[in-house]
Chains A and B, each alone.
Chain A
Amino acid sequence: MSKKYGLLSILFVVMLVLSACGPKTVESDQVEVFSWWTGGGEAAGLEAMIGVFGTEYPSVEFINAAVAGGAGTNARAVLATRLQAGDPPDSWQGHAGQELIGTYVAASQILPLNDLYEQEGWLDVMPETLIPLISQDGDIYSVPVNIHRANVMWYNPAILAANNIAVPTTLADWFAAMDTLQAAGVIPLAMGEQWTAMHLFETIMLGSLGADKYNGLWDGSTDWGGADVKTALDNYKKVLSYTNSDASSLTWQDAAQLVVNGDAAFTVMGDWAAGYFIELGKTPNTDYGWTPVPGTNGVFQFLSDSFVLAVGAKHPDAAKAWLTVAGSKAGQEAFNPVKGSICARTDCDKSLFGVYLQSAMDDWASNIVVGSLTHGVVANDSWKNEINTSLGLFLADMDVATFQAALVTACTGSGPCK
């Protein structure tokens, strides 16, 4: 008798274990996920994550509604049309932060995910300083899948050694170093087309103002018209004077190549450049080195691709299942090594990642996290667009006073400033 029960209880435990790691089920039989990941490591990473989803939810058909186009410009236009027609995909990709919140929360198109965060324990495995940047009024609106760092300065170690320059950590050291390089006939800082100038702009603002005042720019507590900002803009103008004259005809890849090919000493670009250098067959720490942009040590200026839950999703339970996978350790470990980014979670297995990414993972877990402007974290689309216009005008006339006045107007018009 007891033997029989013993066998039964073992069977019961086995069944429990099986049901825990075996296929999970939801009511819906499909889920439609919209993204702009259609090529390269991004598409491969997405496929890998879809694979994880397929193992966990074999009964749900995954509809990959990806639309091609750089950084999602085209995809977002398509998405806007679908949303206006009342035909939302169940979940879609967006840059975490205000790009999503300012656009889709303002239009009541996406739902808060606080419950999911608590249920999955994500608040414990994601950096504390990240959460406010992807929330509005205490509600978290998206699940970040990957993390990229914006404030990285890449350099050519051989050029620095040849000119007896130590890797600069402050703006003053950096300016001195670039004076030396300019005198030596090397391009001190490689830059590309207008958006890379905006990328440089946000890192210099961060380096000059520090994390707190930089964050204040985006919540209205730092005065855009103030003296600190003027100093930061003067610094930015000075940094621009060290850039290559043909910047506007170069892509970010062209600019990055100038550094590894020995034509330029520095370039400021997000850490997707690391993946590009590997593609070019370059060796880390020999052909290229990296450091936070001078003045931003200890601060991680992040950007992230994240997924949301649509209001009026046709398969809400399957969409939540997808988000669970997107935020899970298995999902993020499948996606990120292929895409060339790090996990939003701080508990991913480091051995899966390359040299640069391992160092980024250490910083992600320990640094203060602030958001990127160019890549949609800190400002809504309208505001970013206004800043982009005033920046473009500034690149042509280099007039700091006009630029600062335009930035003040932009914050009043589309930001939180009153």
Chain B
Amino acid sequence: MFRNKDRYLSFLLVSPSILAILIFVYGFIAWSIRVSLSKWKGLSPDYTWAGLENYLSFFSDPRFSVDVRNTIVFTLVFVIGSILLGLLLAVMLDQGLKGESFFRSLFLFPMAISYIVTGIVWRWLMNPATGTRISGFNLLFHYLNLDFLINNWHTTRTWGIAAIALAAIWQMSGYTMAMYLAGLRGVPQELREAAQIDGANEIQILRYIVLPLLSPITLSALIILGHMSLKVFDLIIAVAGKQLPLDVPAIYMWQLTFDGLFYGRGAALGILLLISVAILIIPYIGYTLKAEAKQ
């Protein structure tokens, strides 16, 4: 009886947030789905049924294919880059060097900065101007006599989006470092010692003991970074504004909806984004729930 009363109270306490989430998350998802199936274009709502027309329009839309390609390139460079760099930093910090906490904070700090700030700073750093107006990284390369490294950064044809991913790596690799560092601290000392007794060297310990034990962390990092890169918007806006070579679905969605008043198509693109994130996240949630149930 007491137990039930307790449960009743706890439900009562969380119910406001459940209600808010139901309305403001799931309610609006449902509404967006409804809008995405409508012919709504212009300021006044128009719920005329359009079926999947808005969704299908993207498959013959050359701008959308640019977006998909850019997202794939960005995701690959950003996720792989952040994980490798984060792991490298974590392994180095884990060697017990002096001033570890200083370096830890140093690498973690960029994460505390907003993407807008990162974007503006990197916009200056990646200035592609040449000749007398050279500046940023290009000027640095020039001073270091590394002129062959001078390049167009984010204005590079086709691959410019990878330069944006560099800025994102700078921002988020500290975060993956922190995750890996926690993971490394969780590797039992006995396992390392046992491996040492078996004659394994440091590299082998890392490869056969530590990395496999870190795989849940890699998975979490993949999911977190992956869904961030699918939704990337502010960083690109801050570096380059709304320009097509660096277009991604989130920017296209904004322009369709608020600049072009194509509410139906904009909502459809939003739902496509939601689906792509869900494909990434739902299996992960399922996996964690199962893992928790086992414990």
Contacts and interface: CB of A to CB of B under 8 A. Distances in A.
B243 A193 contact: yes
A279 to B, nearest CB: 20
B130 to A, nearest CB: 7
A32 interface: no
Given A194-B242, A248-B245, A263 B43 contact: no
A80 B260 CA distance: 12
B132 interface: yes
Tell me what chain B mostly uses at the interface: helix, strand, loop, or mixed.
loop
Interface in B234-281: 240-245, 247, 255-256, 258-262
Interface string B13-54: 000000000000000000000000000011111000000000
B243 A381 contact: no
Contacts, number: 92
Contacts of A109: 43
Given A103-B43, A106-B42, A77 B258 contact: yes
A382 B242 CA distance: 16
Contacts of A324: none
Interface stretch (A59-67, A150-158, A222-230, A388-396): A388-396
Contact of A84 (B45, B123, B154): B45
Given A248-B245, A385-B255, A83 B152 contact: no
A162 to B, nearest CB: 17
Interface in A213-265: 245-246, 248-249, 263
Contacts of A193: 240-241, 243
Given A76-B258, A194-B243, A382 B44 contact: no
B130 A246 contact: yes
A56 interface: no
Interface string A353-396: 00000000000000000000000000001101110110011011
Interface in B135-155: 152-155
Contacts of A384: 259-260
Contact of B155 (A73, A76, A195, A246): A246
B261 A249 contact: no
Interface in A73-120: 73, 76-77, 80, 83-84, 102-104, 106-109
Interface residues of B, number: 35
Given A381-B260, A393-B66, A248 B155 contact: yes
A76 B260 CA distance: 11
A388 B260 CA distance: 10
Contacts of B286: none
A249 B240 contact: yes
A416 to B, nearest CB: 15
Tell me what chain A mostly uses at the interface: helix, strand, loop, or mixed.
helix
**Residue of A107, A193, A249, A388 with most partner-chain B CB within 10 A:** A249
Nearest to B259: A385
B129 A246 contact: yes
A249 B243 CA distance: 10
A392 B244 contact: yes
B133 A80 contact: no
A386 B43 contact: no
**Residue of A73, A108, A385, A395 with most partner-chain B CB within 10 A:** A385
B128 interface: yes
B62 interface: yes
Contact of B43 (A107, A246, A248, A396): A107
A84 B43 contact: yes
B247 A392 contact: yes
Contacts of B123: 249
A386 B260 CA distance: 8
A248 B155 CA distance: 7
B45 A392 contact: no
A249 B128 contact: yes
B44 A249 contact: no
B75 interface: no
B66 A248 contact: no
**Residue of A193, A263, A396 with most partner-chain B CB within 10 A:** A396
Contacts of B259: 73, 381, 384-385, 388
Interface of A: 73, 76-77, 80, 83-84, 102-104, 106-109, 193-195, 245-246, 248-249, 263, 381-382, 384-386, 388-389, 392-393, 395-396
Given A193-B241, A385-B261, 7 more contacts: A80-B258, A102-B42, A248-B245, A249-B128, A382-B260, A388-B259, A392-B247
30 contacts: A73-B259, A76-B258, A80-B258, A83-B43, A84-B45, A106-B42, A108-B44, A193-B240, A194-B243, A245-B130, A246-B127, A246-B129, A246-B152, A248-B240, A249-B126, A249-B128, A249-B153, A249-B155, A263-B132, A263-B133, A381-B261, A382-B41, A385-B256, A388-B259, A389-B244, A389-B255, A392-B244, A393-B66, A393-B244, A396-B66
